Amino acid sequence: MTNPLLDVWDTPFQVPPFAKITVADFAPALDIAMQDDLAKIDAIGQNPRPATFANTIEALETTSELMHKVLSPFYAMAGAHTNSELDALMREFSPKLAAHGAKISGNKALFQRIETLWNSKDTLGLSEEQMMLLKDQYLGFVRSGAALTGEAEARLTEIKSRLSVLCTTFTQNVLADERDWFMELTDDDLEGLPDFLIEAARNAGKEKGVNGPVITTSRSLIAPFLQFSSRRDLREIAKRAWDARGANGGEHDNLAIAQEILLLRQERAELLGYKNFAEFKLETEMAKTPDNVRDLLMNVWEPAKSAAERDAKILSSMLHADGINDALQTWDWRYYAEQRRKAEFDLDEAEIKPYFELTNMINASFHVAGRLFGLQFEPIELDLYHPDCKSWRVTRDGADVAVFIGDYFARGSKRSGAWCSAMRSQTNYPNAEIPIVVNVCNFAKGDPCLLSTDDVRTLFHEFGHALHQMLSNVTYRSLSGTSVARDFVELPSQLYEHWAMLPEILKQFARHVDTDEPISDTLIERIGQAATYDMGFSTVEYLASAIVDLEYHTNVPNDDVMAAQSRVLDQIGMPSEITMRHATPHFAHVFAGDGYSAGYYSYIWSEVMDADAFAAFEEIENPFDADLAQKLENTVLSKGGSVEPDVLYTQFRGRMPGIDALLQGRGLAT
């Protein structure tokens, strides 16, 4: 019996044949793929001919094709529709893949060839993209420990293997807590909740096997519950459960795991010759040094904290006016902020949401991409990993550009958050292949599915990442799409958010779900006026997480991580009424892998650029200017990692930005 993961895929656009794939197929397929990968790697390293760019660097571009073929459907399912069998495989695969990577970076013959090319790079006549690929390969090997020998090399291999296990366990622990906790609501508990939230809670109850509404720790449920519920006692229960994910003791507790991850990362950095993990991580990012990151964070922190403290006084007075003789607590903020928004802007989210139906907002994101970049989206039927997934064929001028897949609804088998991934990235070497791009969100499922304004921005944000993948036009897969510096990758996504709330887009696509009436000019104006409302709160909760992340990886705590977290928050004067957006025990960005470790700051770093970049459209008073959109595609969106990011941004804007546009955009400018 053949393994569908290893067969030739005769599916449309060679999308993984999910209908044929079983969990039992993954382990044997991965073993074969790893053997194939190592055989090709060895052949390159043992090539008797002198090293050339073609027989070494370009040759490496095709070695892992079978690995990608096996792992792309596996990671899609493990992240967005997992089960106990897939969870077990993830725990099994993580150390196996870490060991596989160590064998590659430990291939001395291969590294010698790469090092020889690097040392003679100026004589090779390479293009700019080829030089970037050589640089990435050389630094990747060095930073993976290829230059180490003996005990240091062996210890680094042990560390990588252990980290892979710990990070996988951390992720699964958070998912387990999110899956297991829910709070049943009686009819009396629904006081203050809008209809859309009650319906979403009932749908969540059906998923949990409960005959009635429930609140889970899915952000799409718990955030609006904290925002609308007039039951302070229930808000406290929900908020404490949300904060406690990964810190409930027992087998799913993440505190000791987080501590060990930090210590191992520090040891890894020291083995490679760095003072700390932050210095190691930031070396290849735009920021370059921890000091540069800290300067940016603190320059935004002070005005954000001042704004939050001013707001806290107002919300506290509202709490006391309700006859509650207590300090404003973290479970009170969203509720009173919503009451204040209604009073000051005559803006009720329950009034807004009927205008933001999911399908209309998806069409809005497609429409903007069509006007800016000429893309067209045609629905197609594909057998995917879950029936909720939708798919589109993306074309331009009749030519295929990409396949786009959207997986939008929260469910117990999906990890929290929102993300963009590629089942296949764009390449022109050795043959041209279009990308298969996936957006995953966690919107509360309803009929119809109504979004908040924050949900709409999330939808556009992830689609901005998708455009970065779709519009990629580079030679080598390793440099395509979002294969860029971590503090540059959020620029396209955050920039695209600016189009979500343009009045002309809202007038066309924000239509009332019951009457089909377009949103009124008055409501659009009120939404615009409230755009920076409560920005002190949202900026503080984000920055607190970014600052803690940086400090963890600059000065590793030698005691309990929660004590260390508290020390950092005390040092920066964290308002007691606000919690970190992601506290340590469930800070998956940082502890689920190396992606955003010492790099959570990248959202605000990129926002400095996205605020300045959209200002280019505002300066010419045309958000759909064809020439500027073409320039944006030719620089930022199509080049992937083939050019240094500061060069790309300067090519688009003519200079690097300061933080003034960011502060202005967040309403924090003094």
Provide the pLDDT for residue 558: 84
Which pLDDT tens digit goes with each residue over 551-590? 999 999 988 999 999 999 999 999 999 999 999 999 999 9
Q: What is the mean pLDDT of residues 47-67?
A: 97
Residue 661, CA distances (Å) to 302, 377, 669 in order: 16, 33, 9
Structure-derived torsion over alpha carbons of residues 206, 209, 211, 215, reported in degrees to the nearest 10: -70
What class is the 12-174 domain? mainly alpha
Provide the pLDDT for residue 527: 93
Residue 621, CA distances (Å) to 504, 506, 592, 611, 618 in order: 13, 18, 42, 15, 5
Which pLDDT tens digit goes with each residue over 440-479? 999 999 889 999 999 999 999 999 999 999 999 999 999 9
- Whether the bond between 448 and the residue before it is cis, its omega within 30 degrees of 0, is yes
Q: Residue 332 pairs with which residues in a beta bridge?
A: none
Sign, CA torsion 164/165/168/174? negative
Which numeric CATH code is attached to 359-485?
3.40.390.10
String of b and e for 515-541 (b: at least 16 CB within 10 Å)? eeebbeeebbebbeebebbbbbbbbbb
DSSP-derived 3-state class of residue 441: strand
**pLDDT of 318 higher than 90:** yes
Backbone phi, psi, residue 425, to 5°: -95, 155
Which pLDDT tens digit goes with each residue over 193-206? 999 999 999 999 99
Q: Residue 437 pairs with which residues in a beta bridge?
A: 404, 422
**pLDDT of 350 higher than 90:** no
Q: Diameter of the chain by CA atoms?
A: 83
End-to-end CA distance of the chain: 69
Which pLDDT tens digit goes with each residue over 337-347? 999 999 999 88
Q: What is the mean pLDDT of residues 26-43?
A: 98
**pLDDT of 59 higher than 90:** yes
d(CA 343, CA 636): 41
Q: Residue 518 pairs with which residues in a beta bridge?
A: 511
d(CA 324, CA 418): 36
Which pLDDT tens digit goes with each residue over 126-173? 999 999 999 999 999 999 999 999 999 999 999 999 999 999 999 999
Q: State both tokens at 379.
A: 């629905």
Provide the pLDDT for residue 137: 98
**Residue of 462, 497, 577, 607 marked active site:** 462
Provide the pLDDT for residue 550: 98
Provide the pLDDT for residue 349: 82
**pLDDT of 31 higher than 80:** yes
Instruction: Please state, rounded to an integer, the average pLDDT across all residues of the chain.
Output: 96
Which pLDDT tens digit goes with each residue over 405-422? 999 999 989 998 999 999
Domain boundaries along the sequence of the chain: 12-174, 181-245, 359-485
Provide the pLDDT for residue 446: 87
Q: Residue 405 pairs with which residues in a beta bridge?
A: 391, 438
Residue 236, CA distances (Å) to 197, 241, 326, 381, 534 in order: 18, 8, 13, 44, 21
CA within 13 Å, CB half, 220? 30
Provide the pLDDT for residue 162: 97
Backbone phi, psi, residue 141, to 5°: -70, -45
Residue 61, CA distances (Å) to 41, 58, 162 in order: 10, 5, 28
Structure-derived torsion over alpha carbons of residues 221, 224, 228, 234, reported in degrees to the nearest 10: 40
Residue 643, CA distances (Å) to 125, 131, 635, 640 in order: 16, 9, 9, 7
String of b and e for 131-156 (b: at least 16 CB within 10 Å)? bbbbbbbbeebbbbbbbbeeeebeeb
| Percentage of residues in the chain having pLDDT higher than 90 | 96
Provide the pLDDT for residue 670: 73
Q: Could you tell me which of 354, 368, 347 has the C-alpha nearest to residue 461?
A: 368
This model's pTM is above 0.75: yes
d(CA 522, CA 25): 56
CB 249, CB 259: distance < 8 Å? no
Which pLDDT tens digit goes with each residue over 509-555? 999 999 999 999 999 999 999 999 999 999 999 999 999 999 999 99
- Using pLDDT thresholds of 50, 70 and 90, give the confidence band for residue 310: very high
Is 462 considered catalytic here?
A: yes
Residue 290 burial class via C-beta count within 10 angstroms: exposed 0-12, middle 13-18, buried 19 and up? buried
Q: What is the mean pLDDT of residues 6-13?
A: 96
- Using pLDDT thresholds of 50, 70 and 90, give the confidence band for residue 314: very high
- Using pLDDT thresholds of 50, 70 and 90, give the confidence band for residue 286: very high
d(CA 10, CA 173): 37
Q: State both tokens at 44.
A: 């390159």
DSSP 8-state secondary structure symbol assigned to residue 637 = I
Q: State both tokens at 34.
A: 């790893």
Q: What is the mean pLDDT of residues 311-318?
A: 98
